[in-house]
Amino acid sequence: MIDIKFLRENPDAVKENIRKKFQDEKLPLVDEVIALDAESRKAKQEGDDLRAARNRISKEIGALMGQGKKEEAEVKKGEVAAGAKRLAELEQLEAELQEKITKIMMVIPNIIDPSVPIGKDDSENVEIQKFGDPIVPDFEVPYHADILDSINGLDKESAGRTSGNGFYYLIGDAARIHSAMISYARDFMIDKGFTYCIPPFMIRSSVVNGVMSFAEMEAMMYKIEGEDLYLIGTSEHSMIGRFKGQIIEEKSLPVTMTSYSPCFRKEVGSHGIEERGVYRVHQFEKQEMVVLCKPEDSMEWYNKMWSYTVEFFRSLDIPVRTLECCSGDLADLKVKSCDVEAWSPRQKKYFEVGSCSTLGDAQARRLGIRTKGENGTYYVHTLNNTVLATPRGLIAFLENNVNADGSISIPKALRPYMGGKEKIERR
């Protein structure tokens, strides 16, 4: 959510930003919110004038009563009563107008960074840089579900009976390497100076509305029936919500956290749920990084954060690339975002394993997260980035570490979490 003052003073810039995101249907909202804002400020001014008049007349009534002029005092009391009635009407009107303004402001997209490439959808995202050589081995790399089956590591049939399509059982060494990757990701970020946290896995609607757009919520979130609770789609939501309504001392910034959580997503859309493998599923696990910082430091942290994900995957001998998200592929709250994609030697192309975003003060403004320093109180900037989301990370690991004989090599970084094991043998 952008600052209403900025919209009021820069309506053309806000409209141009909407055009860059190819959301022309939202253009009328700018003029609508400006008109509502003018009406709201007019009502507020009239209310302030009435309050000032009430205070003045109250003093006059006191003076008249002291002089024994009761009849004149009663006339003044009538003026106060009439003013009170009008003031109540204005307060109700102002509240209604503010509700309408907030509802509209929640769907007007955040101002994107000037460096964001302009494009309609993810097909126009721009490759930034490759890290590691994308190798295609001299043998056919099996589909990841087949690799998992070869070590008796995947059972989707039973999961279908217990939970339905989009769920899975990981078993034996497959489950162990999955947990090893998560544990390594946790320690990797702790070594970077981030504070480890396990957050609540359910959040209230007030937090959901603060961290994401309505469209995202409908497509992603599972609601708990009969309660004001949603299962988290990523721990970022719960982690940012931790600071809802808080004022953070400026000297405490930046706040750098890394969090573990299971994640639950409807995955509504044309892509659908993967029938056989585990690339797109309803439930997965994730190690996340979240930063709250001063506005002037947010771009520096953005670049640090995505580079940590690149470093993490390269430490597992997995080639990756970074992809700049174009304007049309950015969620409405995001200022700038890039994806980290891992190399798939089976498909001979890259696929997404993580995403890094800076949201400016949009989430902080919605949730009331501020900081206080020498120059006053202001909204912090929030950023988030995936360290590891698995089973996608597991897929990247399997494809890049499977051998011609079906065994799976374990990189040095993961061996301490696997009891020193160097290889998983085909069963």
pLDDT of residue 270: 47
Average the pLDDT over 71-80 and give the result. 83
Residue 114 lies in a domain: no
Residue 273 lies in a domain: yes
- When divided into structural domains, the chain yields a total of 2
pLDDT of residue 271: 59
| Residue 240 near residue 248 (C-beta atoms within 8 A) | no
pLDDT tens sequence across 301-353: 999 999 999 999 999 999 999 999 999 999 999 999 999 999 999 999 999 99
Residue 116 lies in a domain: no
Residue 33 lies in a domain: yes
Residue 100 to residues 31, 103, 368: CA-CA distances in angstroms? 13, 5, 19
The structure's pTM equals: 0.89
Write the Ramachandran bin of 22: left for phi over 0, alpha for psi from -120 to 50, otherwise beta.
Answer: left
Average the pLDDT over 87-102 and give the result. 93
Q: Which of 58, 77, 105 is the last residue of a domain?
A: 105
CATH of the domain at 199: 3.30.930.10
Q: Which of 79, 105, 131 is the last residue of a domain?
A: 105
User: Exposed, middle or buried by CB within 10 Å (0-12, 13-18, 19+), for 301?
Assistant: buried
Average the pLDDT over 363-388 and give the result. 95
- For residue 172, the enclosing domain spans 122-424
Same-domain status, 131 and 35: no
Same-domain status, 275 and 346: yes
The residues, ordered by sequence, that sit 6+ positions from 383 with a Cβ below 8 Å of its Cβ are 290, 291, 293, 298, 301, 302, 305, 356, 357, 358, 359
Residue 50 lies in a domain: yes
Residue 85 lies in a domain: yes
Q: What angle do CA 272, 274, 279 make, to 5 degrees?
A: 110
Q: Which of 39, 71, 105 is the last residue of a domain?
A: 105
Same-domain status, 130 and 78: no
Same-domain status, 53 and 179: no
pLDDT of residue 8: 94
Same-domain status, 70 and 202: no
From 113, 84, 146, select the one nearest 327 (Cα to Cα). 113
Residue 401 to residues 148, 159, 362, 381, 388: CA-CA distances in angstroms? 13, 26, 41, 38, 17
Residue 231 lies in a domain: yes
% residues pLDDT > 70 (the chain): 98
Average the pLDDT over 132-139 and give the result. 94
Average the pLDDT over 100-107 and give the result. 93
The residues, ordered by sequence, that sit 6+ positions from 165 with a Cβ below 8 Å of its Cβ are 273, 275
Residue type, 79: E
| Residue 111 near residue 14 (C-beta atoms within 8 A) | yes
pLDDT tens sequence across 343-368: 999 999 999 999 999 999 999 999 99
Find the range with the poorest average confidence among 145-149, 267-271, 279-283, 399-403: 267-271
CATH of the domain at 21: 1.10.287.40
Same-domain status, 163 and 262: yes
Nearest-angstrom CA–CA distance, 186 and 197: 10
Same-domain status, 135 and 276: yes
Q: Match 């989009």 to its residue by tokens.
A: 166
pLDDT band at 57 (very low <50, low <70, confident <90, very high): confident
DSSP string, 90-144: HHHHHHHHHHHHHHHHTTSPPPPPTTSPP-SSGGG-EEEEEES-----SSPPPPH
| Residue 353 near residue 390 (C-beta atoms within 8 A) | no
Average of per-residue pLDDT values in the chain: 93
For 248, phi and psi rounded to 5 degrees?
-95, 135
| Residue 106 near residue 15 (C-beta atoms within 8 A) | no
Same-domain status, 189 and 328: yes
Read off the tokens for 3.
């600052």
Same-domain status, 287 and 218: yes
Whether the pLDDT of residue 218 is over 80: the answer is no
pLDDT tens sequence across 161-202: 999 999 999 999 999 999 999 999 999 999 999 999 999 999
Whether the pLDDT of residue 7 is over 70: the answer is yes
Same-domain status, 181 and 308: yes
Same-domain status, 182 and 100: no
Residue 111 lies in a domain: no
Nearest-angstrom CA–CA distance, 269 and 166: 14
pLDDT of residue 70: 82
Whether the pLDDT of residue 297 is over 70: the answer is yes
Same-domain status, 87 and 183: no
pLDDT tens sequence across 228-286: 999 999 999 999 999 999 999 999 999 999 999 999 998 765 456 667 899 989 999 99
Average the pLDDT over 287-294 and give the result. 98
Read off the tokens for 373.
């320093």
